[in-house]
Amino acid sequence: MSTVKQELASDLKEITQYCHDSARGYHEAAQKVHEDHPHYAQRWEAFSAIRHVYVEELNQRLMCIGEDRKESGSGKGAIHRGIIALKDLFVSDDLQAATKECIRGEEELLERVEGTLKDDTLDGATRSLLVKISVHVKDCVYELKSIVIPV
């Protein structure tokens, strides 16, 4: 396998892990706040559903380059650590702190996606998918920041 293909496969697998972890994290967070904050729970379930779609689309891109599907997240990824911290924050019902943790995780995912987009060897379909993910993550960050009350 060429170095370019290996790097692309590695990047796509990592982004897939991030998306899988964030989908699970948003779902769990929504479950925690459903009773007190049903609007946020609904939005975060929507974010989770979209991330599941992106996981599937990323897996299709991986299969197109001859790689296996990535079916789960990574316990070692920064997003996963953020999701664990997010779950802990929701136990204390601190919506502000939890939202800030969501933003932190989204910004890490965005950094990874945008770093991969700098690769000038990306094929058109992969680039298009990553741009779509980048736009979605930016929209999520914008919406999450509207929750956070400046101190």
pTM for this structure? 0.84
Least confident window among 5-9, 101-105, 114-118: 101-105
- Binned at pLDDT 50, 70 and 90, residue 15 comes out as very high
* Ramachandran assignment for 46, one of left (phi > 0), alpha (psi -120 to 50 degrees), beta (any other): alpha
Question: Is residue 33 very low, low, confident or very high in pLDDT (cuts 50, 70, 90)?
Answer: confident
Architecture, CATH, for domain 3-145: Up-down Bundle (1.20)
Domain boundaries, the chain: 3-145
Q: How large is the angle between the packed helices 38-64 and 3-33, nearest 10 degrees?
A: 160
Lowest mean pLDDT among 13-27, 45-59, 85-99: 85-99
- Alpha helix positions (H), the chain: 3-33, 38-64, 78-91, 95-117, 124-145
Q: To the nearest whole percent, how much of the chain has pLDDT over 70?
A: 81
φ/ψ of residue 143, rounded to 5: -65, -40
